[in-house]
Structure 1
Amino acid sequence: MGILTRSEILRLIEERALVIEPFDPSQVGPASIDLHLGREFRIFRPAREIFHVTDEADHRLVTELVEVEDYFLLLPGQAVLGITEERITLPDDICGWIQGRSRFARVGLMVHVTANFMQPGMVRTRQVLEMNNAGPIPLAIHPGTAICQIILEECTGRARYEGRFQGQEHP
């Protein structure tokens, strides 16, 4: 068991065990797959009351969905939810990890704040990105940019994700 390399990733895609839509082989590096930023973002509304963090918490109650054509301006200290263009289906014996890209981290962009794990057996799911500008300068983030990468890993055993974010389409 271990991290999948380019040849194994391409083999799984060829066999349709791993599905990435849209996909271009140039997205696959030595041991990762680049994912592109979509056009939709969820921005936080100004706080008016306390938000209770419980099992029933729903981020949609304190955010609004916006779509951009050119870029989204992420201010220093600001957090926003983005989403990948790609929809991913993982086999039930492969999990994944979302990682930021160093070229963007060097200017303060954090692509995922906490939730970087992709469950085995997820189906046609776009990945939500908990983006934060930890740097001192405003960042214009452009849809279509290869904003992050996923690293795939073989699981011991098989499992199938059936949680509430299966098949998510919006941040």
Structure 2
Amino acid sequence: MILSSGLIQKRLEQSGTDSSGLHIVPAPQINTQPDSASVDLRLGCWFTTFRVTQTSHFSAYSDAQKLVTSDKAAQQALTAKSGNRQEKSEYIPFGSRFVLHPGQFTLAVTLEWLRMPHDLCAYVTARSSWARYGLLLATATGVHPGFAGCLTLELSNIGVMPIELLPGTAICQLFLHSVEGPTQPGFRDSRFVGNRRPVVPPVAIDPILRMLMAPDSGWQP
């Protein structure tokens, strides 16, 4: 079930100081009209872009091919190495602007800090007024029960004109869903939780893929 804006407002008010409730800080202005079912979130001040390099391509697999092991220390070493990429983080204060040029991609964050209860999940979509000028937001970014932190936004300009972005602008919509069935109370254990800046983690190489990449796996479709 998708929560109406009125029900979202009620959940926020009921949470109060209860750390296990729904929290959005700073408190959003919610449209409680009967046909409304989302919360507008605003653009934060941190942006992360990727520098143009001489590297021919990005690969999540080159190091993983050498690492066919479940050893935790080795996995942490791979994570540290994979995270060392050509990223540039920039703080844009309120009143200043960030210009996203045609064909450019950047990571941003929401101004709001969220804490999701264990009985709710959410997804984020772009506001249509921005999308019609070519601003593309990652389709239906999922927010799991137990998430806490600022949301990372993946923004692309697929239009023909540069787009001026001001921190504090209402940039996206958050839709909240109730979760059926048991979930684990408390914070979600994830590398995406607790961040206030855009996050660029290494692409996870799961155990099954690692096994299939092993030279002696002997498996072929």
Flag whether TM exceeds 0.5 (same fold).
yes
DSSP-derived class of the 1:13 partner: helix
User: Could you say what secondary structure the match of 2:152 adopts?
Assistant: strand
Q: Which amino acid aligns with 1:27?
A: I
The match for 2:128 is 102
The one-letter amino acid paired with 2:60 is: V
Query: Post-superposition shift, 1:106?
Result: 0.4
Which of 7, 26, 30 matches 1:27? 30
CA 1:77–1:42 in 2, change beyond 3 Å: closer, same or farther? same
Q: Are 2:58 and 1:51 equivalent residues in the alignment?
A: yes
Structure possessing the higher radius of gyration over alpha carbons: 2
| Aligned-partner Cα distance in 2 for 1:114–1:102 | 12
Q: Is 1:73 matched up with 2:99?
A: yes
In structure 1, how many angstroms separate the alpha carbons of the residues matched to 2:182 and 2:193?
17
Equivalent position of 2:179 in the other structure: 155
The Cα of 1:168 is off from its aligned counterpart by: 0.8
1:121–1:159 Cα contact (<8 Å) kept:
no
SS in 1 for 2:44: coil
What amino acid is aligned across from residue 119 of structure 1 in structure 2?
Answer: H
Aligned partner of 1:119 in structure 2 is 144
Residue 37 of structure 1: aligned partner: 43
Residue 86 of structure 1 deviates from its aligned partner by 0.3
Q: Offset at 1:7?
A: 2.1
TM-score if structure 2 supplies the norm length? 0.70
Contact 1:114 1:130 in 2 (8 A): no
Identity of aligned residues (%): 34
Distance (Å, rounded) in 2 between the aligned partners of 1:62 and 1:158: 41
The letter for the 2-side match of 1:98 is V
1:27 Cα offset (Å): 3.3
Change (3 A) 1:87 1:10: same
Matched pairs, number: 166
Greater percentage in helix? 2
Equivalent AA in structure 2 for residue 103 of structure 1: S
Unaligned runs of 5+ in 1: none
Long gaps (5+) in structure 2 = 16-20, 65-78, 199-221
Q: Name which of 159, 166, 169 aligns with 2:193.
A: 166
Kindly provide the CA deviation profile for residues 72-121 of structure 1, in whole angstroms up to 9, marking residues without a partner as x: 1100010000100100001111100001000000000012x256000111
Partner of 2:4: 5
